[in-house]
């Protein structure tokens, strides 16, 4: 019997999903566990697997189309089965294979709707004056939207392979190309133009979660200055023995894990009637994406050394930057680290990432002058550590002791061994 294939919640915070690619065509056989399509969630692009055997009779939401969780995206059943009664229940627009035209997107990944467009104005003037509009090279097919996006991104459409009907270049084909940084993107857009930037699904979830965290958890902040010369030397010696460089963040995650072991209340979560003290140190590292932040999680850091943490972290970050993290790879961090030192930020405060009760903000490494015991001056490398704490779980003294131990390990890495 024919049944609807519904959009499933492929991530813990997913409310809507966008069909990136269908792996099956209408009329093809499908099997339980087989990948039907790829769905872009608020966090990553996930594979959607079939829940039953049968035939894919109808695709309701085509590639590029968006569906809410629980909304039908296709119909499956027996071959040549009549599904007209199912289709009649759905609005006509939901059965279109081509998604509706969306506002154009800026190169950094956000959709951009220009309220005043110098480009469009120029085109209108060209039509009035009789001047021909810019034409695509012969054999290149693309919609006006795609042409506009390509112009904004500085992409030559002649070299783009189209995946739409008849080789037509569609929006997702541009998304597969390398994108400029946010700074380059801003530089490419004309100045003096007022724009409305629609909020992406990922940005909506980030806004909701961080707002809930900020206003439900009473934050307070502790800042300390850590000497890092000992850590820099230790990292240099380790890198000389390795065939690759171990990241600075891997050391910080390992030291944070050890500090959490000594101060378990920092590794906990407020649950209204109880406080849940976690049995493992699952530490997330905030990673910037074009349309928001994500924090891939290194699990069970108490039982892993720096080299293993570094290997797993690099794999996770690479997947995060490509939007390929699975839900279990970015959810449930018991503690989070946010490092903006590479951006030249001296210190900042971060909002706690639930379900954890604390997040550590790392600033840049800098040189500062210190008075020696002999009355002279010496220069040491230091950085600021700012710990954001949920006062419902972590008292000030506990947070201070945690930060003091972490400082000690960063100054003298051997302190993490005892």
Select which of 23, 229, 391, 405 is catalytic: 391
Burial 110-120 (b: 16+ CB within 10 A, else e): bbbebeebeee
- Which residues lie closer than 8 Å to 23 by C-beta, 6 or more apart? 35, 36, 37, 38
Residue 254 dihedral angles phi and psi, to the nearest 5°: -65, -45
CB 403 within 8 A of CB 385: yes
CB 317 within 8 A of CB 296: yes
390 is catalytic: no
- For residue 50, how many other CB atoms are within 10 A of its CB? 20
Instruction: Single out the residue of 40, 47, 33 nearest to residue 19, CA to CA.
Output: 40
CA pair distance 226, 291, nearest whole angstrom: 32
Q: Rounded to the nearest 10 degrees, what angle do helices 396-411 and 248-262 cross at?
A: 140
Using a 10 angstrom Cβ sphere, with 0-12 exposed, 13-18 middle and 19 or more buried, the burial of residue 10 is buried
391 is catalytic: yes
Select which of 53, 229, 395, 405 is catalytic: 395
Q: Cα 369 to the chain's mean position, in Å?
A: 39
Q: Which residue numbers are catalytic?
A: 391, 395
């Amino acid at each position: 019997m024919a049944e609807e294939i519904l959009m499933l919640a492929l991530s813990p915070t997913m409310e809507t999903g966008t069909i990136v690619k269908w792996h099956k065509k209408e009329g093809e056989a499908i099997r339980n566990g087989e990948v039907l399509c790829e769905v872009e969630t608020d966090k990553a692009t996930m594979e959607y697997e079939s829940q039953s055997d049968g035939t894919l009779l109808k695709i309701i939401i085509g590639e590029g189309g968006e569906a809410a969780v629980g909304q039908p995206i296709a119909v499956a059943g027996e071959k040549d089965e009549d599904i007209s009664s199912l289709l009649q229940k759905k609005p006509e627009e939901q059965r279109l294979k081509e998604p509706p035209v969306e506002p154009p997107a800026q190169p950094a990944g956000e959709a951009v709707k220009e309220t005043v467009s110098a480009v469009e104005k120029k085109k209108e003037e060209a039509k009035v004056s009789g001047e021909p509009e810019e034409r695509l090279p012969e054999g290149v097919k693309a919609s006006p939207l795609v042409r506009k996006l390509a112009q904004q991104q500085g992409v030559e459409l002649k070299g783009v392979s189209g995946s739409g009907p008849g080789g037509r270049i569609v929006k997702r084909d541009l998304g597969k190309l390398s994108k400029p940084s946010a700074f380059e993107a801003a530089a490419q857009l004309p100045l003096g133009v007022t724009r409305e930037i629609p909020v992406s699904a990922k940005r909506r979830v980030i806004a909701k979660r961080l707002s809930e965290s900020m206003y439900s958890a009473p934050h307070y902040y502790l800042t300390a200055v850590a000497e890092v010369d000992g850590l820099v030397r230790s990292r240099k010696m380790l890198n000389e023995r390795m065939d690759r460089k171990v990241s600075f963040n891997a050391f910080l995650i390992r030291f944070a894990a050890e500090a959490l072991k000594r101060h378990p209340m920092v590794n906990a979560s407020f649950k209204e009637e109880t406080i849940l003290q976690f049995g493992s140190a699952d530490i997330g590292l905030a990673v910037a994406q074009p349309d928001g932040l994500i924090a891939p999680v290194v699990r069970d850091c108490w039982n892993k050394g720096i080299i293993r943490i570094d290997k797993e972290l690099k794999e996770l970050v690479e997947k995060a930057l490509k939007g390929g993290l699975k839900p279990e790879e970015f959810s449930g961090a018991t503690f989070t680290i946010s490092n903006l030192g590479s951006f030249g930020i001296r210190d900042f405060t971060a909002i706690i990432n639930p379900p954890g009760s604390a997040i550590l903000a790392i600033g840049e490494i800098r040189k500062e002058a210190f008075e020696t015991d002999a009355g002279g001056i010496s220069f040491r490398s230091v950085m600021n550590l700012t710990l954001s704490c949920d006062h419902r779980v972590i008292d000030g003294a506990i947070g201070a002791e945690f930060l003091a131990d972490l400082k000690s390990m960063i100054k003298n890495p051997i302190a993490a061994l005892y």
